[in-house]
């Protein structure tokens, strides 16, 4: 184990779109864990849209970027963990993280037959987010239409496949021709529109969802949300797990079509996976079984090296990712 | 029974605010019922905000204004009804209505100990609307804060009282000093703001709802909805049964603050009483008991004469009513 490591610090609160000046890549000594702490060597780190929100509020300038990761315990003063254990939890965009008293670490079961990086996505919080949005809130019936925005993304790509397994018709939205092909050809959605290329979103929805939309798995907000509100069927459900189109906005343009919520008796539910962490233990083996049996397919977009984190994150906010973006720590 | 009657016809689809030119008050012959029809002499007629929506779409120019009413059967070719029976259902702004094959008529039980006009409001669809919004969708816990817009109106005045009976703190919004006094002094809400007089709605909500809002019973939309979204507590619920502020709008300004639905994990549910008609039979005796025991108080704003319907309706849309507006048919 070397004495110094690479870290990505958060150094400047962004206004509008994030750029590289919000980050500093530095070399610093690997910290010494206290007697009850756990030192983790980070193996995979997560790059997620929600970090944009933290950069507007919770993160303090000068701190390391905190993000989910999978790692290996190298030193532990906590009885639950010993060197060599694989764990996941909130680590940081760095090579080594000290977890005070081991708090917030969860076990990684390498015997489930899936890559351990999946604990950052399909077998972790994005996967459970898709599950809750589809099965707890959306509850599609066979034959209903489920429309999924960010369908090529970490959550959307799973949500659509879960909807299909429930007997529904899954239609996605994505932001490039390559993503649209991926969503239909690889992920198996019934159809997908390219929201950047369509001259009219309402017309695109009428074409791809001719029977209307019963469940909208909402990741983006903005004009697509407005078009979807107009195309929802009565008594439709809209689980909202992200509004990425607004994350970099400095002004709120408002959402038109709110009256459809009344007129069509819709249910719009914002949700956070933090209210559902108790589901993990029972859910992970079920999800692993869907993966190993091939009923759910999954695609990771793996970047090499923690120093790539700022570029990977900025690009993802601008929509250049295909599947879940993950960093392999060198 | 006279041979002619007074009727209010819908003659011109309004653009923006409704005025008298949308209506014509005429004298016409009382129609002859067919062999299976029911002829009802109308006793009380309802004046409701939702009619504005029907005037934009479902109503045909030249037809009588269809509205809920309570009446007495004067002739019947239907085995379920005989002359002298009291009924409620969709009658019209007229003195006599023919109901084809008696469809959509419900019995009025004069023995419940409340005025029969209550079947148009507290013991009818507005009352059940309040009940569903509070008990099925809002589900306030004791100690939570329930905020009710149009608190002096037909639905809001009941919703706040039901919230208090459930142990919650009820705070209203109304549009005049007289209404605010009525909501607090007569209906017993814990507090009420005058949305027309407050210089800042967010500040008014902080003052009247210092612990935040857990349930928003939504009747109005617009700037008040936007202020409430900012003042909701996490995991709050927003049953939406009306958006009266937008009913006369020709453009949709959008709703700002939609991101609070995600950030605070809110549930926004549009609902219509037509999805809950099956509840009436079990619910009416329970509601009548709350009224006769004095635990719910109710105030009707009774106008005399069917020819007053246009003025009563136009004024109500502009906010001049205190309690449910009802016409007594001369």
pLDDT, tens digit (0-9, with 9 covering 90-100), for B179-216:
999 999 999 999 999 999 999 999 999 999 999 999 99
Domain holding B44, by residue range, is 4-121+298-328
> B212 and B304 share a domain?
no
- Given A274, A290, A315, which residue is the final one in a domain? A274
Handedness of CA A311, A315, A320, A324 (dihedral sign): positive
By Cβ distance, the residue of A254, A261, A268 closest to B253 is A254
> A195 and A224 share a domain?
yes
By Cβ distance, the residue of B225, B261, B275 closest to A268 is B261
By Cβ distance, the residue of B241, B254, B265 closest to A256 is B254
Give the three-state DSSP class for A76. strand
Contact B305, B330 (CB under 8 A): yes
pLDDT at A250 over 90: no
State whether B269 and A270 contact (CB < 8 Å).
Answer: no
pLDDT at A170 over 90: yes
> B131 and B93 share a domain?
no
Which chain A residues have a beta carbon less than 8 Å from that of B255?
Answer: 254-256, 258
Return d(Cα B298, Cα B303) in angstroms, integer: 16
* Number of Cβ pairs < 8 A linking chain A and chain B: 87
Which residues of A lie inside 8 Å of B (Cβ-Cβ)?
Answer: 221, 225, 235, 240-243, 246, 252-272, 275
State whether B259 and A235 contact (CB < 8 Å).
Answer: no
> A137 and A270 share a domain?
yes
Chain B: give the shortest CA distance to residue A279, in Å.
Answer: 17
> A150 and A239 share a domain?
yes
Q: Could you read off the pLDDT of A22-79 as tens digits, one per residue?
A: 999 999 999 999 999 999 999 999 998 889 989 998 899 999 999 999 999 999 999 9
Which chain A residues have a beta carbon less than 8 Å from that of B223?
Answer: none
* Among chain B residues, CA nearest to A256: B254
Contact A201, A227 (CB under 8 A): yes
* Among chain B residues, CA nearest to A242: B262
Q: How confident is the model at residue A3 (pLDDT cuts 50, 70, 90)?
A: confident
* Among chain A residues, CA nearest to B244: A259
Per the domain annotation, does B280 fall within a domain? no
* Among chain B residues, CA nearest to A137: B267
Q: If you count them, how many residues does chain A have?
A: 330
Which residues of B lie inside 8 Å of A (Cβ-Cβ)?
Answer: 221, 225, 235, 240-243, 246, 252-272, 275
- Burial string for B178-197 (b: 16+ CB within 10 Å, else e) reads ebbebbbeebebbbbbbbee
pLDDT at A2 over 70: no
Return d(Cα A40, Cα B159) in angstroms, integer: 54
Per the domain annotation, does A281 fall within a domain? no
Total Cβ atoms within 10 A of residue B57: 7
Which chain A residues have a beta carbon less than 8 Å from that of B270?
Answer: 260-267
* Among chain A residues, CA nearest to B251: A256
Residue B243 vs residues A134, B120, B200, B305: alpha-carbon distances, Å: 29, 20, 20, 28
By Cβ distance, the residue of B255, B269, B271 closest to A258 is B255
Give the three-state DSSP class for A21. helix
Per the domain annotation, does B71 fall within a domain? yes
Please give the pLDDT value at position A49.
Answer: 84
Q: How confident is the model at residue A324 (pLDDT cuts 50, 70, 90)?
A: confident
Please give the pLDDT value at position B174.
Answer: 95
> B26 and B157 share a domain?
no
Chain B: give the shortest CA distance to residue A257, in Å.
Answer: 7
> B132 and B110 share a domain?
no
Please give the pLDDT value at position A245.
Answer: 74
Percent of residues, chain A, with pLDDT higher than 90: 85
Tell me the residue ranges of DSSP E strands in chain B.
Answer: 4-10, 23-29, 38-46, 66-76, 86-92, 96-99, 106-107, 145-148, 169-174, 191-194, 213-217, 232-240, 267-270, 300-304, 324-328
Calculate mean pLDDT across residues A112-123. 94
Chain A: give the shortest CA distance to residue B137, in Å.
Answer: 10
Q: How confident is the model at residue A291 (pLDDT cuts 50, 70, 90)?
A: very high
Return d(Cα A258, Cα A26) in angstroms, integer: 47
> B82 and B142 share a domain?
no
State whether B243 and A266 contact (CB < 8 Å).
Answer: no
Q: What are the DSSP calls for A194-237, one per residue?
A: ETTT-S-HHHHHHHH-TT-EEEEEBS--HHHHHHHHHHEEEEEE
By Cβ distance, the residue of A225, A259, A270 closest to B266 is A270
Per the domain annotation, does B279 fall within a domain? no
User: What is the domain-level CATH number for residue A149?
Assistant: 3.40.50.720
State whether B270 and A264 contact (CB < 8 Å).
Answer: yes
A29: closest CA among A95, A123, A90? A95
H-state helical runs in B108-221: 125-131, 156-165, 177-181, 201-208
State whether A270 and B261 contact (CB < 8 Å).
Answer: yes
Chain A: give the shortest CA distance to residue B302, in Å.
Answer: 28
Per the domain annotation, does B217 fall within a domain? yes
A2: closest CA among A22, A38, A36, A27? A27
Q: Determine which helix (DSSP H) or strand (DSSP E) holds B287, and give its type and residue range.
A: helix B280-292
Chain A: give the shortest CA distance to residue B256, in Å.
Answer: 4
Which chain A residues have a beta carbon less than 8 Å from that of B259?
Answer: 221, 243, 246, 252
Per the domain annotation, does B291 fall within a domain? no
State whether B254 and A259 contact (CB < 8 Å).
Answer: no
Which chain A residues have a beta carbon less than 8 Å from that of B272?
Answer: 265
User: What is the domain-level CATH number for residue B78?
Assistant: 3.90.180.10
Please give the pLDDT value at position B196.
Answer: 96
Total domain count for chain B? 2
Residues of chain B falling short of pLDDT 70: 1-2, 247-248
Residue B113 CA, distance from chain mean position: 22
Which chain B residues have a beta carbon less than 8 Å from that of A263?
Answer: 270
Which chain B residues have a beta carbon less than 8 Å from that of A243?
Answer: 258-259, 262
Please give the pLDDT value at position B247.
Answer: 66
* Among chain B residues, CA nearest to A219: B262
By Cβ distance, the residue of B256, B264, B275 closest to A265 is B275
By Cβ distance, the residue of A252, A256, A269 closest to B267 is A269
Token representation of residue A135: 């099965």
Please give the pLDDT value at position A251.
Answer: 84
Per the domain annotation, does A279 fall within a domain? no
- Residue B323 main-chain phi, psi, to 5 deg: 85, 180
Contact B71, B87 (CB under 8 A): yes
* Among chain B residues, CA nearest to A252: B256
Which chain B residues have a beta carbon less than 8 Å from that of A256?
Answer: 252-255
Contact B48, B154 (CB under 8 A): yes
Please give the pLDDT value at position B205.
Answer: 98
State whether B252 and A253 contact (CB < 8 Å).
Answer: no
By Cβ distance, the residue of B240, B254, B260 closest to A262 is B240
> B111 and B62 share a domain?
yes
> A103 and A153 share a domain?
no
Per the domain annotation, does A303 fall within a domain? yes
Q: Could you read off the pLDDT of A305-323 as tens digits, one per residue?
A: 999 999 999 999 888 878 7
pLDDT at A1 over 70: no
Distance from first CA to last CA of chain B, Å, rounded?
Answer: 13
* Among chain B residues, CA nearest to A254: B256
Kindly report the average pLDDT of chain A as a whole number.
Answer: 94
> A21 and A56 share a domain?
yes
Q: How confident is the model at residue A275 (pLDDT cuts 50, 70, 90)?
A: very high
> B99 and B11 share a domain?
yes
Q: Which of A129, A220, A246, A262 to substitute to test the interface with B, most B CBs within 10 Å?
A: A262
């Amino acid at each position: 184990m070397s004495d110094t490591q690479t870290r990505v610090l958060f150094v400047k609160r962004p206004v509008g779109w994030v750029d590289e000046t919000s980050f500093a890549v530095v070399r610093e000594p690997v910290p010494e864990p206290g007697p009850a702490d756990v030192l983790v060597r980070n193996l995979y780190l997560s790059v997620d849209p929600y970090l944009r929100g933290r950069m507007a509020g919770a993160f303090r300038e000068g701190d390391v970027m905190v993000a989910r990761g999978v790692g290996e315990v190298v030193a532990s003063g906590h009885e639950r963990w010993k060197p060599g254990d694989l764990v996941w939890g909130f680590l940081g965009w760095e090579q080594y993280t000290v977890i005070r008293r081991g708090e917030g670490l969860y076990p990684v079961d390498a015997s489930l037959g899936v890559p351990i990086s999946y604990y950052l996505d399909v077998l972790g919080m994005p996967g459970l987010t898709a599950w809750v949005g589809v099965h707890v809130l959306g509850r599609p019936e066979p034959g209903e239409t489920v429309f999924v925005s960010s369908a090529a993304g970490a959550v959307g790509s799973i949500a659509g496949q879960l909807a299909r397994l429930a007997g529904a018709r899954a239609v996605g939205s994505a932001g490039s021709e390559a993503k649209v092909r991926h969503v239909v050809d690889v992920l198996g959605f019934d159809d997908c529109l390219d929201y950047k290329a369509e001259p009219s979103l309402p017309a695109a929805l009428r074409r791809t969802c001719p029977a209307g939309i019963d469940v909208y798995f909402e990741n983006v907000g903005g004009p697509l949300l407005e078009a979807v509100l107009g195309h929802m069927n009565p008594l439709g459900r809209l689980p909202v797990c992200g509004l990425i189109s607004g994350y970099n906005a400095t002004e709120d343009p408002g959402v038109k079509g709110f009256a459809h919520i009344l007129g069509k008796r819709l249910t719009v539910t914002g949700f956070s996976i933090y209210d559902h962490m108790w589901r993990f233990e029972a859910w992970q083996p079920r999800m692993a079984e869907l993966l190993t049996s091939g009923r759910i397919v999954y695609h990771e977009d793996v970047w090499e090296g923690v120093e790539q984190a700022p570029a990977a994150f900025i690009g993802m906010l601008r929509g250049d990712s295909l599947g879940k973006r993950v960093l392999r720590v060198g």
